[in-house]
Amino acid sequence: MNFSNLFTLNVAGKGGYDAEICEALGLDRVSAEYFDGVDPYGCKIELKKQSDQQWIDLAKLSFITEEESNIPMLFVYHNKGSIQSVYMITYKDLITALNIPLETLEMAGMVKLAAMSVQIKYPVKKAFIVEHATMLWIRPVVESK
């Protein structure tokens, strides 16, 4: 992935900017349940753009397959639209790190089946991702003279 293209990308405001981030990273944009882009080698990638907190849909996670649970999630952090860092963690590792019991995911799935429009969101803060995920890129600090 070409992280240098993130320098000029502005992701301020609402909306995921998935298409723009995919293009900048050299991913083909795909709109699928568990991923937003595919790299040239066929690796599926989920994007999460945020400045601090992201909400994860537990009901969605309750239906994830073993294969899908290995999809990497890229947490793209920005400050007023300027991308500052990118961290990676798989769905499986995120669920494990959050220590979400299987029963909780199963209950969220049952609620989703009963009321399709319902979402059960779980907050994930930047500090948690920084601690549990792998940093892939950070904006270099440029010193002023």
Q: What pLDDT digit, counting tens, does each position of 23-45 carry?
A: 999 999 998 999 999 999 999 99
Is the pLDDT at 145 greater than 70, yes or no? no
Please count the residues of the chain: 145
Average pLDDT, the chain: 93
Q: What is the pLDDT of residue 119?
A: 86
Question: Could you say which DSSP state residue 10 is in?
Answer: B
2, 19, 129: which is closest to 74 by C-alpha? 129
Backbone φ and ψ for 129, nearest 5 degrees, come out as -65, -45
Output the CA torsion 51→47→84→56 (10° steps): 30
Q: What is the pLDDT of residue 14?
A: 80
Read off the pLDDT of each residue in 124-133 and give the average, rounded to a whole number. Answer: 97
Q: What is the pLDDT of residue 141?
A: 81
